[in-house]
Chain A
Amino acid sequence: MQLHRFHGGLKLADETDASTAEPVLVMGVPAKLTVPLGQHIGEATEACVQVGDHVTKGQRIGQSKGYIAAHVHAPTSGKVADIDLYPVPHPSGLNAPCVVIEPDGRDEWGDARMEPWLDWDTRDLRALRQRLRAGGIVGLGGAAFPTAVKLNPRAGQRIHTLIVNGAECEPYISADDMLLRTAPEAVFEGIRITARLLGVERVLFAVEDNMPEAMRALTETLPTELRDLIELVSVPSIYPTGGERQLIKVLTGQEVPSGGLPADLGMVCHNPGTFKAICDTVIQGRPLLSRIVTVTGPGVKHPRNVEALLGTPFADVIEAAGGYAEGVDRLVMGGPMMGFAVHDDSIPVIKATNCLLATRPQDTPSPGPVMPCIRCAECAAVCPAQLLPQQLYWQAKAKDFDAIQDYGLFDCIECGCCAYVCPSNIPLVQYYRYAKNEIWAREKERQKSDIARERYEFRQERIEREEREKAERLAKKKAAVKNKENDGDKQAAIQAALERAQKKKAARAEGSEKNSEKGTGSETNGEETSTTNDTRDGDDR
């Protein structure tokens, strides 16, 4: 297969040997599980149990109402001890709502367990999708995007290619590697289910060239009937090949449009762990309750991979890898390039916890003082999004948020290549995150003020309308009154005229025929004048 090259990237030392020496250790149930309700990207999930409730394994404890959302399940049976804010793995270090479960040690599946679907390929597609949703599955590569959403393409969007992202490009992480070595069949089953759901024509299964054992396991277990569908591809291990956009470029030479999604190219990309979770949920009826975590780095005694229940404290996971080595001072969730350092190891494993990396000062020294940018443009040379990171940096510093968007801020995937090569130790990615947040905040602020303005304008318009209507009503009323008066005047005038006419008649009748023409003329003039005056008075009133 013809492979392509994306711009930039880094050749980083592979550090996975230490953690792949031992098989995956399935950890037991810890003394206490703290299960965060928000373990995915998207809308909030709310607790659907009460403190004191007894929950069974697999029972839904967090219910999501939104579309881009994922349910949360009890990883084991036990009592709900608390529902409150607890520290969770997040760069902000803020607390978030969690359900604390005290396990009863029986690890029972209650009635909540979904029945196994061995006949899944005869089931309705919508029912399949609902089952994935019920399983609370999110992408297990680290971004935790709800899987059911990705498997439900927009109307008219045809997905022809499914991509399996086995390019675990961060140094140290070997969770996918170990999964592929140990459970390739489940991954293939998950791929079959997904391929049926999306109706794809081909599946490109990318594995990095530094994972030969995983590749061997896959080659050996690939079912014969899938050989026409699934193509196993070994891709060069250049960071960040595991980025969705970069991997698609490597495999197909196509670029996902800026601001678009792989689905725009008719492709969908999933992590191998996600396929295993799909298989577990659909075939066994087991929602997402645990995941493989790579526990590694010079800061742990025996690096290895463990399968931990969601909600297990980091400290327990580290303990399973032999505990901390002497002098450890940094604990990172995720890989060394994109992961974030946590300040406390009591926080729990979540669906996005693919790796715990512990290091000592000599492994990750604090960077020296930040020096001025010398415009060496090494950042641009390694940027896989083909951006000009130093320009973005200047624009972020200058708060020129229009220019920074024009220069492609939102095309930045925050891979950290630029910060890694910067000789001046400038924390470039931090500046981009700052700028993004600032723009989001402003956008929100703008929307809010738009709403406020609309509301104000509406109110203003209503007041004006009411005043106008009031004025109109008043005018009408006045007009009516005036008309009435006018009517009165006219009647009076007519009356007066009649009377005068009669008087005239009478006068004429009384006598003198002399000067009759002259008299009539003067009378007529007087009449007209008085009528006109009356009318004018009426107007003035």
Chain B
Amino acid sequence: MSYQLPTFRHPELPVNELGYTRADYEGAISTLCAGCGHDSISGAIVRACHELSLEPHRIAKLSGIGCSSKAPTYFLGKSHGFNSVHGRMPSVVSGAAMANRDLLYLGVSGDGDTASIGMGQFAHAIRRNLNMVYIVMNNGCYGLTKGQDSATADEGSASKKGDANPFSAIDLPGLALQLGASFVARSFSGDKGQLVPLIKAAISHRGFALIDVVSPCVTFNNNAASTKSYDFVREHAEATGTVDFIPMREEITASYAAGHAHEVTLHDGSVLHLEKLSEDLDPFDRVSALVALEQYRARGQILTGLIYMNKDSRDLHDVLETSRRPLNSLREEDLCPGNKVLVNINASLR
């Protein structure tokens, strides 16, 4: 059951360029557990989309199955949504993106949905550089079926039941880098200051943009022995640097000291400003990104922020050379060769 939010809104809520308030980007009331990290991520999505002045109906939000995949109900109520089947959101987005290249595709998944049943589809969406934002709400456990370890649970980490996980974890940003992802970031649901600009940058990036968000499960995986608990992540997260995103519509006034900052102009004219803090990371070099991820992991720390970005990314439509007009807008005159051509084909078959 989804409960709708009350329609009353304060008349003085700030509006964006389209005249929408933040409430216009919200969805139904969440039925996730109070304190669930996923709700914070939903809030960050709402804020990012509002601040970017995106038209809600031009966003398609898709998910698989699981707690995380329920989350799209709780944001962007004016967007078309698709709760597909377990682990198969990437293929549905692939088809949808082929049909209409002009919408923004926001995929939401979980660690079970992505790193187990959906691993194959996740990997192949990356290698095709599908133009989408892929957010993993990563809590290291299966909340809907009462707390089993997922494939992203760290070795030795224990869920509520208390048994330490005997298996090594799949690190989604590391995997994505190896598979050639063109945008890889990690964040923490409790760090909106970092997450919101990352989401904005991911939206403006052309190609596959992964944001792996550690999002504690308050019910089954927020205990002292868990490496995906609020306390653990707060104590062990290390940011690559500060990330600031300046949409193309705003006047660009930011100025930073040379040698400490990168400014990247994205394909839509937006500017991504990165102030580098991590000594080990060049976010435009895949090898450096992989090395940094491993180094932080070896230290028992979680590297967050923008980990890698390919500034010259070509998305799937670029590679396939598909029509600039959305395929779903083509009509008989564009698609059907007519009987005259068929007459010639018949003649060639005799």
Do A and B associate with each other? Answer: no
Interfacial residues, chain A to chain B (CB-CB below 8 A): none
Interfacial residues, chain B to chain A (CB-CB below 8 A): none
